């Protein structure tokens, strides 16, 4: 069963009743690709794919022209090229996307403090408090679309609804460059024709379980007794899906939702067996993760190493530190110990990752040094590197072991 959902768009963009619909879901259209096309207008209308061009690269973004050939994000680049051999491949420029994302989010915060980013290219807004100043939710949505286009040269789609769940579905169904209001009174009418896969929490396995019960649409699920769903899917999942099928979603827009973890990983162009090179990559990733921790004002206690063999089997190992840290050298030491204890030191690996969990606000973490213990100096050194990176770029100051050779087998 195809997971692509087709649904009629009720009413006109601004003509529908948006009473009781304070929730907006704003989603940038093909965000990374759109940012690149601002500087390459000659590619407008062409199939464009953003991703590392290496054999093991994956698609990060694709224009709608490329998507018509079946290309989608997270697809291996080799498959994307087979599906759309005429596509223009552009390597990603992550710093550029981060900056545009930051500026777009600033537009949202000028409208309301109730902004919940859920990715670099999408966010929920609760505009109930902005109505008196800026007008109806649908008018605010139209204003957002106009400002994003005028100020940043990219388009976005906006769903307007009474709940987060319905607002997100609305933005999906008016892409690209659209605005869709789902009136509170028409939410059930909007939902029930949809395939059951539209519901949050319905993956392929759950979809198969529901199909065995003859449930293929949201309306089918809504008409199924809750006890049947609980028995088939479990109490929590059954209750959750029954509520969504009737448009009930009690979740509020939560500004500044705390990060649960911060990590980075790298897929090698060719499998690497040399422990020295693996440790060098662990240091590179530890530096990246520590910089992100400090940039977000976090420190973390649990260090996790992810190791993927050439046959795609993946092993993860974790260690909880005595004290939270945002220092790369401390993350690196723990990660190397985990790598050594994994039994994979002389095994060919295709991917290595480092992640930190159990995050705390850095300004609330008081480092209690033992009597006579002295600071190592790494924190001060790394903060100095942060300042240099902000001014001159991340690669200006590096640990000596990370100064790259002419070719080290990594994706560009």
Tell me whether the CATH fold assigned to 32-93 matches the one assigned to 261-402: no
What does the alpha-carbon distance between residue 99 and residue 405 come to, in Å, rounded to a whole number?
29
Confidence of residue 214 (pLDDT cuts 50, 70, 90): very high
pLDDT reading at 409 higher than 50: no
Among 249-263, 283-297, 348-362, which stretch is predicted with the lowest mean pLDDT? 249-263
What does the alpha-carbon distance between residue 286 and residue 339 come to, in Å, rounded to a whole number?
13
Per-residue confidence (pLDDT) for residue 74, from 0 to 100? 85
Where in the chain are the domains? Answer: 32-93, 192-245, 261-402
CATH homologous superfamily of 261-402 equals: DNA polymerase, Y-family, little finger domain (3.30.1490.100)
| Of 43 and 368, more confident | 43
pLDDT reading at 2 higher than 50: no
pLDDT, one tens digit per residue, over 54-69 is 777 889 999 999 999 9
Per-residue confidence (pLDDT) for residue 323, from 0 to 100? 87
Note whether 340 and 251 are within 8 A (CB): no
Whether pTM > 0.75 for this model: the answer is no
Per-residue confidence (pLDDT) for residue 378, from 0 to 100? 58
Per-residue confidence (pLDDT) for residue 374, from 0 to 100? 44
Tokens 């090179």, residue located: 277
CATH fold group of domain 32-93 = MutS, DNA mismatch repair protein, domain I (3.40.1170)
pLDDT reading at 244 higher than 50: yes
Per-residue confidence (pLDDT) for residue 377, from 0 to 100? 55
CATH fold group of domain 192-245 = DNA polymerase; domain 1 (1.10.150)
Maximum C-alpha span of the chain: 72
pLDDT reading at 21 higher than 90: yes
pLDDT, one tens digit per residue, over 88-136 is 999 998 788 989 999 999 999 999 999 999 888 999 999 999 998 999 9
pLDDT reading at 348 higher than 90: yes
| Of 102 and 382, more confident | 102
Give the residue numbers marked as catalytic.
122
What 3 state SS string does 124-186 have? EEECHHHHHHHCCHHHHHHHHHHHHHHHHCCCEEEEEECCHHHHHHHHHHCCCCCEEECCHHH
What does the alpha-carbon distance between residue 256 and residue 239 come to, in Å, rounded to a whole number?
28
Confidence of residue 282 (pLDDT cuts 50, 70, 90): very high
Q: Which of 92, 114, 117, 91 is nearest to 103 (CA)?
A: 117
411 a known binding residue? no
pLDDT, one tens digit per residue, over 182-206 is 999 999 999 999 999 999 888 888 8
pLDDT, one tens digit per residue, over 306-341 is 999 988 888 999 999 988 999 999 999 999 999 999
The DSSP code for 351 is E
What does the alpha-carbon distance between residue 21 and residue 396 come to, in Å, rounded to a whole number?
48
Note whether 26 and 144 are within 8 A (CB): yes
326 a known binding residue? no
């Amino acid at each position: 069963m195809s997971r692509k959902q087709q649904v009629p768009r009720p009413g006109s963009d601004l003509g529908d009743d948006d009473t009781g619909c304070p929730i907006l879901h704003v989603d940038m259209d093909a965000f990374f690709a759109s940012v690149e096309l601002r500087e390459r207008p000659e590619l407008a209308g062409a199939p464009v794919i953003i991703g590392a061009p290496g054999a093991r690269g994956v698609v990060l973004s694709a224009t709608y022209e490329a998507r018509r050939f079946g290309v989608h994000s997270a697809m291996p680049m080799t498959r994307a090229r087979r599906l759309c051999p005429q596509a223009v491949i552009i390597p990603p420029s992550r710093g550029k996307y981060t900056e545009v994302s930051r500026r777009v989010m600033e537009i949202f915060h000028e409208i309301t403090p109730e902004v919940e980013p859920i990715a670099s290219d999408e966010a929920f807004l609760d505009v109930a408090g902005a109505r008196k100043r800026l007008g109806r939710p649908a008018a605010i949505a139209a204003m957002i679309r106009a400002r994003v286009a005028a100020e940043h040269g990219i388009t976005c789609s906006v769903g307007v609804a009474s709940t987060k769940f319905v607002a997100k579905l609305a933005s999906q169904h008016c892409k690209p460059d659209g605005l869709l209001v789902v009136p509170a009174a028409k939410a059930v009418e909007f939902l029930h024709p949809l395939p059951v896969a539209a519901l949050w929490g319905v993956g392929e396995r759950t979809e198969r379980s529901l199909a065995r019960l003859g449930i293929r649409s949201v309306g089918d699920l809504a008409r199924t007794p809750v006890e049947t769903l609980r028995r088939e899917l479990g109490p929590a999942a059954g209750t959750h899906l029954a509520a969504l099928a009737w448009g009930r979603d009690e979740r509020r827009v939560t500004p500044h939702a705390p990060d649960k973890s911060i990590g980075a990983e790298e897929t090698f162009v060719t499998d690497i067996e040399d422990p020295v090179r693996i440790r060098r990559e662990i240091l590179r990733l530890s530096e990246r993760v520590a910089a992100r921790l400090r940039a977000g004002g976090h420190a973390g206690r649990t260090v996790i190493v992810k190791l993927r063999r050439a046959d795609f089997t993946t092993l993860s190992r974790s260690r909880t530190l005595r004290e939270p840290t945002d220092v790369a050298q401390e993350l690196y030491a723990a990660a190397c110990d985990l790598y050594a204890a994994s039994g994979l030191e002389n095994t060919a690996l295709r991917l290595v990752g480092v992640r930190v969990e159990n995050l705390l606000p850095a300004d609330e973490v008081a480092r209690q040094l033992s009597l006579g213990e002295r600071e190592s100096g790494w924190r001060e050194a790394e903060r100095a590197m942060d300042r240099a990176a902000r001014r001159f770029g991340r690669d200006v100051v590096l640990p000596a072991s990370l100064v790259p050779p002419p070719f080290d087998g990594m994706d560009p």
